[in-house]
């Protein structure tokens, strides 16, 4: 069972060259981060996007920062505004940016400057199929991914979709950083199991920080 009040210190767990899990790294900030997500969602609500293949994503998404990520039947894209509403994305909260910078530095990426934060909300059964993050212009910049709320199984594979994958449990406050030789590895989330988290309720939230331009 998840113990929110454990005094166990954060620690690093290597995944591959250039990839690491910073266990519990954001746990103490969890309540504040979730409150900020709620504020951002009030400005720009979560949406279930449509993939280029015409499928409705099970994960609900919103964004903050200079750029946001979106998907529709025309493809995947970054834009300074929500393509569905025409509104600009809310600014990235400073605590978000500070967490991303510190986590990247701890993982060995000292020059990370994120301009986009994707905010995903998973309800039980929601998943994210294996994929690569390759729509960013500078692939020297890492990905920083923060898990909040319900636990989920993270899949971290190779450079082809059919390569073997590692499956690791991510819990509230865990941060995964990958870049360098691991930047284009396939990754995803298996269907989230039902549960109730003391702070996030029946959801898992994920903050994914990127340098898109």
Closest by Cα among 67, 54, 200, 53 to 121: 200
pLDDT at 89: 96
Element (H, E) at 13: strand 11-16
Which residue positions form the known binding site for substrate? 69, 76-78, 135, 161
Read off the pTM: 0.93
CA distance 28 to 134: 31
pLDDT at 27: 97
**Domain 11-210, CATH among 3.40.50.300, 3.20.20.80, 1.10.287.3510, 2.60.120.590:** 2.60.120.590
Which residue positions form the known binding site for Fe cation? 131, 133, 187
CA distance 141 to 113: 8
pLDDT at 42: 95
Which residue positions form the known binding site? 69, 76-78, 120-122, 131, 133, 135, 161, 187, 204-210
pLDDT at 1: 38
Q: Taking the CA atoms of the chain, what radius of gyration do you get in angstroms?
A: 16
pLDDT at 7: 57
CA distance 154 to 163: 15
pLDDT at 35: 98
70 backbone φψ class: left, alpha, beta (φ>0; ψ -120 to 50): beta
**Stretches in the chain below the pLDDT threshold 70:** 1-7
Which residue positions form the known binding site for 2-oxoglutarate? 120-122, 204-210
């Amino acid at each position: 069972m998840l113990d929110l009040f454990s005094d166990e210190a954060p620690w690093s767990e290597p995944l591959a060259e250039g990839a690491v899990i910073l266990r519990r790294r954001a746990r103490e900030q969890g309540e504040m981060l979730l409150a900020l997500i709620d504020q951002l969602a009030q400005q720009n609500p979560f949406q279930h996007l449509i993939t280029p293949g015409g499928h409705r994503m099970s994960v609900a998404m919103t964004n903050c920062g200079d750029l946001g990520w979106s998907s529709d039947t025309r493809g995947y894209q970054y834009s300074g505004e929500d393509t569905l509403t025409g509104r600009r994305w809310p600014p990235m909260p400073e605590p978000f940016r500070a967490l991303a910078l510190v986590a990247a530095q701890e993982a060995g990426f000292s020059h990370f400057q994120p301009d986009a934060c994707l905010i995903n909300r998973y309800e039980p059964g929601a998943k994210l199929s294996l994929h690569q993050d390759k729509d960013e212009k500078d692939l020297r910049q890492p990905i920083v991914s923060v898990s909040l709320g319900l636990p989920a199984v993270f899949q971290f594979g190779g450079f082809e979709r059919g390569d073997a994958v590692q499956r690791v449990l991510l819990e509230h406050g865990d941060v995964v950083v990958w870049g360098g030789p691991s930047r284009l590895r396939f990754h995803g989330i298996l269907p989230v199991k039902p549960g109730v988290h003391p702070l996030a309720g029946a959801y898992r939230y994920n903050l994914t920080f990127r340098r898109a331009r």
